[in-house]
Amino acid sequence: MAEILKDQVAVNVSGYNSGSSVIRAIPGSEGLKWSFYVYPKGKEGSSSYIDVYIRVEGGGAYVKATFDGYTSYSGSFKKTFEHEFNDGEEHALKGVWSNQYAMQGRNLTITCTATFEPMKTKLDPLMVHELIDKTKSHSSNATIVVDTDEIKIHRGFLSMLSPVFTAMFSPETKESKTGIVNIKDFPVTTVQNAINYCYGVDLGRISAADVVEMLQFYDKYDMQPLMTKLEAWLKANLTVKNFAPIAAYAWKYSRLSFQADCGRMFHKNRNEIMDRPDFVALDPTVIAGVVIAGYTSTRRTIDDDNSGEDDS
């Protein structure tokens, strides 16, 4: 069960003058501190209402707070607040009460009672490649050969990701006996990127065209989770500049949601896209599909636009 810590502090303000507590150690915590601030005219100094702020230092915490205010002019109030704080952050509850008391020259006392649930320190997961010591013979037990290049792999790991590799390394197959997989329909860069990504290696900045080539590799070897991940990347990074390779992928593999996205992009940026040499070089069926998808995105059809033409 999460540890819940508690503390309380009161701040008194006179007129429109702001007030604050000292930075306080949170009892029972390991280095967590907090402070409480009251701004009678808002933090910007121009409001007719009071703002209160809490600041947390020394780590993160989930904070629940109750603000109890009292002034002899306008009585009392109670407000509640909860927020997640990272180290060094401050968050506000704005407009908690009118500052009319200040016009009467009265004082205001606000008591903040807060509970703190310290955030656990995040333990980053290990990537697969961090677990592999390439100097050890057991780190790989098969080889992918692309022309004259070799890529060391572990057949058990790839078999977990791909039913095609599972079948390939089943007993009595050539690949199982020799430990060699010959790949002739992808360049070595694509194969290396695809394998590295499986192992969690950071590929750095990569183009949409490179991602499409990796997707084609994953499609051939039926590596569905990886395809889902990269297709999400393509959808999030669709631009005029990388439109052509993404459109080619969408129509080659009948990805309807991609086709719709391409249609909307084409409709909004038609002239820019049509001026690009990589778009003009696309297969004519892809270009036609993009144009139709562009019309569809506006709920129009080509027939609608031609309906007023004279057929004579």
Q: 261-281 pLDDT, tens per residue? A: 999 999 999 999 999 999 999
Alpha-helical regions (H) of 26-181: 100-103, 155-161, 163-168, 174-178
- State residue 311's pLDDT score: 46
Which tens digit of pLDDT belongs to each residue from 153-201? 999 999 999 999 999 999 999 999 999 999 999 999 999 999 999 999 9
What are the two backbone dihedrals, phi and then psi, of residue 212, each rounded to the nearest 5 degrees? -60, -40
Residue 61: pLDDT over 70: yes
- Per the model's pLDDT, the better-predicted residue between 311 and 225 turns out to be 225
Residue 122: pLDDT over 80: no
Q: Is the distance from CB of 302 to CB of 288 less than 8 angstroms? A: no
What are the two backbone dihedrals, phi and then psi, of residue 49, each rounded to the nearest 5 degrees? -130, 160
Distance CA 252, CA 285 (A): 10
Give the distance, in angstroms, between the CA of residue 121 and the centroid of all CA atoms in the same chain: 20
Least confident of 144-148, 165-169, 228-232, 294-298: 294-298
The single-letter DSSP state of residue 95 is -
60 band by pLDDT with thresholds 50, 70 and 90: very high
Which tens digit of pLDDT belongs to each residue from 25-42? 999 998 999 999 999 999
For residue 90, the cross-strand partners are 55
253 band by pLDDT with thresholds 50, 70 and 90: very high
What value does the mean pLDDT take over residues 241-253?
Answer: 95
126 band by pLDDT with thresholds 50, 70 and 90: confident
What value does the mean pLDDT take over residues 143-147?
Answer: 95
- State residue 121's pLDDT score: 66
312 band by pLDDT with thresholds 50, 70 and 90: very low
- State residue 135's pLDDT score: 79
- List the structure tokens of 74: 């306008």
What value does the mean pLDDT take over residues 90-104?
Answer: 86
What value does the mean pLDDT take over residues 49-63?
Answer: 95
- State residue 300's pLDDT score: 57
Residue indicated by tokens 């501190």? 33
Q: Concatenated DSSP letters for 106-162?
A: -EEEEEEEEEEEEPPPP-PPPPGGGG--TTSGGG--EEEEETTEEEEE-HHHHHHH-
